[in-house]
Amino acid sequence: MSGRLADITGPNIPEKISDESVILLPVGAIEQHGPHLPMSVDTVIAEETSNALLDSLGNEMDLWLLPTLSISKSNEHTWSPGTLSYSSNTMMSVLDDIAKCVSTTAARRLVILNGHGGNTSLLITACRDIRVAHGLLTFLVHPSVPPASGGTSTEEEMGMGIHGGLNETSVFAYLRPGEVQMEKAIRRVPEWMAENKWVKFGGKVQFGWTSKDFGIEGFIGDPTGANPELGKELFESAVESLSGQLREISRFDFQEN
pLDDT of 176 above 80: yes
Which pLDDT score is estimated for 53? 98
Q: What is the pTM of this model?
A: 0.95
Beta strands in the chain (DSSP E): 3-4, 22-27, 63-65, 109-114, 137-141
* pLDDT 10s digits, 113-171: 999 999 999 999 999 999 999 999 999 999 987 776 767 777 888 888 899 999 999 99
Give the whole-angstrom CA distance, residue 147 versus residue 142: 12
For position 145, what pLDDT does the model report? 78
pLDDT single digits (tens) 212-229 = 999 999 999 999 999 999
Dist CA 143 CA 53 (whole Å): 11
Instruction: Give the model's pLDDT for residue 181.
Output: 98
Q: What is the pLDDT of residues 47-92, one digit of tens each?
A: 999 999 999 999 999 999 999 999 999 999 999 999 999 999 999 9
Q: Supply the pLDDT for residue 203.
A: 87
Mean pLDDT, residues 240-245: 98
| Model pLDDT, residue 96 | 98
Give the DSSP per-residue string, 179-240.
---GGG---B--HHHHT-SSSSTTSSS-----GGGG-TT--BB-GGG--HHHHHHHHHHHHH
So what's the pLDDT on residue 115? 97
Which pLDDT value is given to residue 150?
A: 67
Q: 136 near 110, Cβ under 8 Å? A: yes
Query: What integer is the mean pLDDT of 238-242?
Result: 97
Instruction: For residues 124 and 141, give the distance between their C-alpha atoms in angstroms, rounded to a whole number.
Output: 10
Which pLDDT score is estimated for 159?
83
Domains contained in the chain, CATH given = 3-251 (3.40.50.10310)
